Chains A and B, each alone.
Chain A
Amino acid sequence: MTGGETAAVWTRRALGYGLGLGAVAMLFFAAATVGRYPVSMIDVARILWEGMTGLPRDLGDSARAVVLDIRVPRLTAALLVGVALSAAGATYQSVFRNPLVAPDILGVTSGAGLGAVLAIFLSLPVAAIQAMAFVFGLGAVTLVYSVARAVRGAHDPILVLVLAGVVIGAVMGAGIAVLTYLADPYDQLPAITFWLMGSLAGVTFADLATAWPAVALGLVPLLFLRWRVNLMSLGDDEARALGVDTERLRLVLVVCATLATSAVVAIAGTIGWVGLIIPHMARFLVGPEFSRLLPATILLGAIYLLGVDTLARAATTVEIPLGVLNAFVGAPLFLWVLARARLSWR
Chain B
Amino acid sequence: MALTIETRALATGYPGYPVGRDMNLTVRGGRVTALLGPNGCGKTTLFRTLLGLLKPQGGQVLIDGDDLAGLPRGEVAKRVAYVPQVVEGYFPFSVMDVVLMGRAPHLGMFAAPGAGDRRVAGEALAELRIADLAGRSFTAISGGQRQLVLIARALAQEAPVIFMDEPTASLDFANQFHVLDCISRLSHAGRTIVISSHHPDHALRFADDAVLMETGGLFAAGTTGEILSSETLSRVYGMEIVIAEVAAGRGSTTYRVCVPNPVGGAVAP
Contact = CB atoms under 8 A, between A and B. Distances in A.
A203 interface: no
B69 to A, nearest CB: 14
B70 interface: no
Interface size class of A (residues with CB under 8 A): 20 to 34
A244 B84 CA distance: 16
Contact of B48 (A3, A234, A237): A237
B82 A346 contact: no
Given A288-B92, A289-B97, A228 B73 contact: no
Interface in A233-261: 233-235, 237-238, 240-245
Contacts, number: 85
A128 B80 CA distance: 49
B181 to A, nearest CB: 24
A97 B73 CA distance: 21
B157 interface: yes
A230 B97 contact: yes
A227 B113 CA distance: 8
Interface in B96-153: 96-97, 101-102, 104-105, 107, 109-113, 115, 118-119, 122, 134, 139
A142 interface: no
A226 interface: yes
Residue of A1, A241, A287, A344 most packed against chain B (CB within 10 A): A241
Contacts of A237: 48, 53, 82, 84
A231 B112 contact: no
Nearest to A5: B118
A99 interface: yes
B84 to A, nearest CB: 6
Interface of B: 48, 51-53, 73-78, 80-82, 84, 88-94, 96-97, 101-102, 104-105, 107, 109-113, 115, 118-119, 122, 134, 139, 157
22 contacts: A224-B110, A227-B111, A227-B113, A228-B104, A230-B93, A230-B101, A231-B101, A233-B90, A233-B91, A237-B53, A240-B52, A241-B53, A241-B81, A242-B82, A242-B105, A243-B73, A243-B75, A243-B105, A283-B91, A288-B91, A345-B92, A346-B88
Given A1-B96, A234-B101, 11 more contacts: A1-B115, A1-B134, A3-B115, A227-B113, A233-B90, A240-B73, A243-B73, A283-B91, A344-B92, A346-B92, A346-B139
